[in-house]
């Protein structure tokens, strides 16, 4: 095998790591950690309010860690806690208007970072790559990972 003929799995992991670094770097100007950015994205993608435990599950982090994330986002004015009308012991989390704005801002910043990574490919190559990755994702049953 020539040095330029890398294993496909290894190549995909290298690209994924590079993308992750770019997405993390896109959060830095906003003073957000990756977990804060992911929490904003999850909450922005939800029509209803979420309970903290549901957020923790979607982020695949411990409930205690989710509490720390929510505390930070609440102190920044991006998340509001409220009492669940159907269960007075339960707390619900919602993005504030500022939180929705921030979620949109970081989504744009991360999209730009992603686009920059693939800027060297022509439109046809990008479309082919998207088609192939979608097919692999669908066939592997990987689903959408937040």
Q: Does residue 84 surpass a pLDDT of 90?
A: no
Average model confidence (pLDDT) for the chain? Answer: 90
- pLDDT number for residue 45: 93
**Confidence tier at 137 by pLDDT (50, 70, 90):** confident
Cβ neighbour number for residue 32 with a 10 Å cutoff = 22
Fold for the domain defined by 8-139? Arc Repressor Mutant, subunit A (1.10.10)
Do the beta carbons of residue 94 and residue 106 sit within 8 Å? no
Token representation of residue 95: 């993005």
Q: Does residue 146 surpass a pLDDT of 50?
A: no
The continuous run of DSSP H or E covering 61 comes out as none
**Confidence tier at 102 by pLDDT (50, 70, 90):** very high
* Angle of the 8-27 helix axis to the 97-117 helix axis, nearest 10: 140
* Domain spans of the chain, in order of start: 8-139
Provide long-range contacts, Cβ within 8 A and 24+ apart, for 15-23: 15/117, 18/117, 19/113, 19/114, 19/117, 22/110, 22/113, 22/114, 22/116, 22/117, 23/110, 23/113, 23/114
């Amino acid at each position: 095998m020539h040095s330029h003929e890398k294993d496909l799995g290894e190549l995909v992991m290298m690209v994924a790591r590079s993308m992750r670094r770019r997405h993390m770097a896109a959060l830095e100007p906003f003073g957000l950690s990756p977990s804060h950015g992911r929490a904003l994205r999850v909450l922005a993608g939800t029509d209803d309010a979420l309970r903290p435990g549901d957020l923790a599950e979607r982020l695949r982090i411990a409930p205690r860690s989710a509490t720390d994330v929510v505390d930070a986002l609440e102190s920044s004015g991006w998340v509001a806690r409220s009492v669940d009308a159907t269960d007075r012991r339960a707390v619900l989390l919602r993005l504030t208007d500022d939180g929705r704005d921030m979620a949109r801002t970081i989504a744009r910043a991360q999209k730009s970072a992603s686009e920059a990574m693939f800027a060297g490919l022509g439109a046809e190559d990008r479309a082919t790559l998207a088609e192939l990755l979608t097919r692999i994702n669908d066939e592997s049953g990987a689903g959408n990972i937040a």
